[in-house]
């Protein structure tokens, strides 16, 4: 096998991974829960090459968005490849090509899908070269992916995923085929990367008790989702991203991803919810954009939210298996 092409999806956390145990290879200070975004994908092609050094370049394909990885980003990616080569005892050099099927200027982080795709591509290639007993075990691959980027360990499973310690696991909830909107209020590169945010939040006085607060919410959210208590789930998910953003704002130095645009979108979401007593799960990552997840039976409100926000912002809307960008 000279070349493999593999894709992996992104995911959005509803209980956030924010804060890691130092020197642990991205082990989190609290468990997290995510929904896998099947339509937002990174593609990675791995090709064996002659020469002493691994290389990265953008994967060029008509249906994919050209990716522009910084020098630092490329090095981080190739370092993960080296970790995977060491794990399988592979000596050869490789060309890694990658690209996303979603625009890179829309403020959506792609580290989860990229690192998951690289891990899966390497596993397929290396397993053929030097088979290992654990080589196709999803939990082991999730654990390996975590070492490249924490949140990527959740992208190995679908749709609802729990990550508590070394690796992530699927949750087996009945609710499937959620609809997903991203209201893009900011599409420039963020000033504080999530790697830096993980370090900075530990300086916040609010980080005391943060792992405990997140663990309680995690337990409550699992319960709410299992029992279809959408009202409760929505409140927990809201409190959770606000808690994470408060950590950012009280760190030393303090920083914030919330813009006036984010605040306006959140205010509208509150108004809609109060009017209908129903609506999406709303969350924000380490960025200014607002993510919303709708149940399948909320198709009408999905369309209404989408139309409403599209008047002022770019809205990415992902319905079922088909995806389209507005
Ligand atoms: O995997 P990282 O290091 O990019 O961290 C991701 C952090 C958040 O996206 C803010 C939260 C999460 O759980 O995905």
What digits encode the pLDDT tens for the residues 75-101? 999 999 999 999 999 999 999 999 999
Counting atoms of ligand 1 from 1, which one is nearest the CA of 151? 1
Query: What is the dihedral sign for C-alpha 34, 38, 41, 43?
Result: positive
> How many A from CA of 292 to the centre of ligand 1?
17
- Measured in angstroms, how far is the CA atom of residue 279 from the centroid of ligand 1? 25
CA distance linking residue 129 with residue 109, whole number of Å: 32
Angstrom CA distances, 16 to 98, 147, 158, 170, stand at 26, 17, 17, 16
* Ligand 1 atom nearest to CA at 112: 1
Q: Which residues pair with 49 in a beta bridge?
A: 93
Q: Is the pLDDT of residue 298 over 50?
A: yes
Q: Which residues pair with 149 in a beta bridge?
A: none
Q: How far apart are CA 23 and CA 286, in angstroms?
A: 22
What's 39-94 look like in SS3?
Answer: EEEEEEEEEEECCCCCEEEECCCCCCECCCCCHHHHHHHHHHHHHHHHHHCCCCEE
Averaged pLDDT for residues 178-182: 93
**CA 208 vs CA 87, 196, 239, 299: distances in Å:** 36, 18, 17, 40
Per-residue model confidence (pLDDT) at position 249: 98
pLDDT of residue 105: 65
Question: Which residue among 16, 29, 190, 214 has the greatest number of ligand 1 atoms within 8 angstroms of its CB, and so is best to mutate?
Answer: 16
223-275 confidence digits (pLDDT tens): 999 999 999 999 999 999 999 999 999 999 999 999 999 999 999 999 999 99
Half-sphere exposure of 251 (CA within 13 A, CB side): 23
Residue pair 174/49 in contact by the 8 Å Cβ criterion: no
The protein residue whose alpha carbon is closest to atom 6 in ligand 1 is 151
Protein residue with least CA distance to atom 9, ligand 1: 285
Is 78 in contact with 45 (CB distance < 8 Å)?
no
* Ligand 1 surroundings by CB, under 6 angstroms: 13, 16-18, 32, 111, 149-151, 194-195, 285-286
Q: Which domains does the chain have, with CATH numbers?
A: 3-170 (3.30.230.10), 179-325 (3.30.70.890)
Q: Quick: pLDDT tens for 53-74.
A: 999 999 999 889 888 889 999 9
pLDDT higher than 60, residue 135: yes
Q: Which percentage of the chain shows pLDDT scores above 90?
A: 85
Using pLDDT thresholds of 50, 70 and 90, give the confidence band for residue 145: very high
Higher-pLDDT residue of 309 and 189 is 309
Predicted pLDDT of residue 320: 55
Is residue 281 within 8 Å of residue 233, measured between CB atoms?
Answer: yes
Q: Which residues of 104-134 are buried (b: 16+ CB within 10 A; e: fewer)?
A: bebbbbbbbbbbbbbbbbbbbbbeeeeeeee
314/323: higher pLDDT:
314
Over the stretch 15-53, which tens digit does the pLDDT of each residue have? 999 999 989 999 999 999 999 999 899 999 999 999 989
Cα–Cα distance for residue pair 121/98, rounded to 1 Å = 11
Is it the case that residue 324 has pLDDT exceeding 70?
no
pLDDT of residue 109: 76
Q: How much is the pLDDT for 321?
A: 43
Read off the DSSP letter of residue 319. E
Q: How confident is the model at residue 322 (pLDDT cuts 50, 70, 90)?
A: very low
Does position 323 have pLDDT exceeding 60, yes or no?
no
Q: Place 291 in a pLDDT band, splitting at 50, 70 and 90.
A: very high
Count of beta carbons in the 10 Å neighbourhood of residue 174: 8
Average pLDDT over residues 183-193: 85
Looking at ligand 1, which atom is closest to the CA of residue 152?
1
**In the prediction, which pLDDT does 179 show?**
93
Mutate to test the pocket of ligand 1, among 256, 285, 287 (most ligand atoms within 8 A of CB): 285
């Amino acid at each position: 096998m000279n070349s493999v092409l593999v894709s992996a999806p992104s995911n959005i956390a509803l209980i956030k991974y924010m804060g890691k145990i130092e020197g642990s290879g991205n082990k989190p200070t609290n468990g997290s829960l995510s929904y896998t975004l099947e339509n937002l994908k990174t593609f990675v092609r791995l090709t064996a090459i002659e020469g002493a050094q691994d290389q990265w370049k953008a994967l060029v394909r008509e249906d994919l968005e050209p990716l522009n990885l910084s020098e630092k980003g490329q090095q981080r990616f190739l370092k993960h490849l080296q970790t995977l080569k060491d794990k399988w005892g592979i000596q050869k050099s490789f060309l890694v090509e990658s690209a996303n099927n979603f625009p890179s200027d829309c403020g959506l982080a792609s580290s989860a899908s990229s690192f998951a795709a690289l891990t899966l591509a390497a596993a397929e290639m290396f397993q053929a070269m030097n088979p290992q007993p654990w080589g196709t075990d999803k939990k082991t691959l999730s654990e390996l992916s975590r070492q490249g980027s924490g949140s990527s360990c959740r992208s190995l499973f679908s749709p609802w995923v729990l990550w508590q310690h070394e690796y992530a696991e699927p949750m087996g909830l009945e609710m499937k085929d959620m609809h997903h909107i991203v209201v893009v209020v900011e599409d420039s590169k963020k000033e504080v990367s999530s790697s830096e945010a993980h370090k900075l939040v530990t300086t916040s006085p609010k980080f005391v008790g943060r792992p405990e607060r997140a663990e309680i919410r995690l337990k409550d959210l699992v319960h709410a989702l299992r029992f279809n208590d959408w009202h409760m789930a929505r409140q927990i998910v809201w409190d959770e991203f606000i808690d994470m953003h408060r950590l950012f704002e009280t760190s030393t130095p303090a920083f914030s991803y919330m813009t006036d645009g984010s605040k306006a979108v959140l205010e509208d979401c509150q108004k809609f919810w109060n009017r209908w007593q129903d609506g999406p799960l709303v969350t924000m990552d380490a960025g200014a954009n607002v993510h919303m997840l709708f149940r399948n039976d909320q198709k009408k409100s999905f369309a209404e939210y989408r139309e409403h926000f599209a008047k002022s912002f770019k809205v990415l809307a992902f319905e079922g298996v088909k995806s389209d960008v507005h």
